[in-house]
Every structure is written in C-alpha cells, then in structure tokens.
Amino acid sequence: MSEHPTVTVGTRVSTILYNRGRGVVSAVHGTPRPETIRRLAGGFIAAGGSASFDIVFACGSISRRLPESILHGVQWTIFHDEPKAGPEEIAQLRAHAEACRAEKQAQKEQAEAAHAAEIERLRTDPKHAHLEQGSDQSGVLAGKNIRRLLKAALPNHTFRVRKSSYGSVSISCNDPLDDAAQETVSDIRKRFRSGFYDEVTDCHSKSRSPWQEVFGSAEYVF
C-alpha cells in the first residue's frame, strides 16, 4: 500500500484544528495524487498533491476545498482502515451542519439586534445626558467623558485624565483612594477600554461595546 493511499468520498478523517474532531470527506475536487505528497522540515510540512476536499464534521462545521497536501499533514489523521461513510450518513452530517449554521446565523442576528437596541437606549437615556456622544476611538471623547463621570462619582477627589497617545488614556489622582473609590475608578475605566486579551487566540484584541460606540473608547485606559 502507498504511504499515502488515495482519499475518496466517504473517507473518515479527523483534525486537531479548531476542536473540529472527526469528519467525513463529502466531495473531492480534481484528481488526487497522493504519490506526489512529500514531507519537508522533518515531516512537519507536507507538499504536493493536486486535489482538494470538502469535509463535513460531526461537530457541525465544514471545511471546503482543503488542499490535498494539508489533509496529509501532521494536523490531520486519515482513517483508511475504517469503513467509508455512505451517502445516507454524509447527507445526515450535511443536514446537521446546515442546522448548526442556521442556528449560528440566528444567534448572530439576535446579538446584532440587541447591540443596536442597547446603543439606542444609551443615546436616549437621561441619566447620561451630561456625557458627550460620538464614535471616536482615539481617546479624546473617552477622556472627556471619563472626567465627567469621575467628577460626578467622586467629587471630593481631583483626577487628571489625559490622552497620552492615539488610543491611549491615563487616569491619575494624587489623593489616596479607599477600596470603594478604587473600584469606582476601575469600573469607569473598563467602560471605555476597547483593548483586551483574547484567551482563544492568545493575543491582544479590540472590541466595541454599545457604550463605547455611543460615548467613545480608547484601546488602552490606564
């Protein structure tokens, strides 16, 4: 048997990527050439092949036109010794994937509607009439509104709020702050800070909350 047997419709596979797990090849585009697959960089990189594959996963996701070389890479396992999935099983997996896609789309639309509704509520809420509105992300508008919130919440303290660079605002106070005051400052700061650490991607990311879209934001608020 070839080191890389030919992958056909119904072949069972799995991947460690994106928590997708096991799946089934549901379509083959082009003519597979597994004999041309070669390993590079000590086996960590695969090259060659000429086909691409659609794969439907039991978790409900789909990979479309995955290159043959990637399918034969170290992040994938091909179960050539297992019985191939038949048309009925593939159809069931596709139906499940479509149901998952429709559910995710509905959740996305609901989240967008809730986001828009919260923006409108904040814009018309009389409690925030003393704040300026706008979509500024540079920190200018955020700095103005932070000053106003701090003055209203902690009138016995004097704060210095300045924009140190684009998207960066710093807050300082020479007065000693008790725990309650520090918590108030922290709560106000978090409302305007758009930058955060994303544990999923393990990198720094940005977001725009309804509050930030109405009253401004800065990527960093120290």
Gap between the terminal Cα atoms of the chain: 62
pLDDT in tens, 134-174: 989 999 999 999 999 999 999 999 999 998 888 899 999 98
Average pLDDT over the chain, rounded to an integer: 91
Report the alpha-carbon distance of residue 142 to residue 218 in Å, rounded.
7
Contact 169, 139 (CB under 8 A): yes
Neighbours of 18 (CB within 10 A): 10
pLDDT in tens, 52-86: 999 999 999 999 999 999 999 889 999 999 999 99
Report the alpha-carbon distance of residue 97 to residue 103 in Å, rounded.
10
Q: Note the pLDDT of residue 202.
A: 67
Domain ranges of the chain: 12-100, 129-221
pLDDT higher than 70, residue 200: no
Report the alpha-carbon distance of residue 33 to residue 181 in Å, rounded.
68
Measured at the alpha carbon of residue 206, what is the angle toward residues 201 and 211, in degrees to the nearest 5?
A: 135
pTM of the entire structure?
0.72
Report the alpha-carbon distance of residue 75 to residue 70 in Å, rounded.
8
- Using a 10 angstrom Cβ sphere, with 0-12 exposed, 13-18 middle and 19 or more buried, the burial of residue 172 is exposed
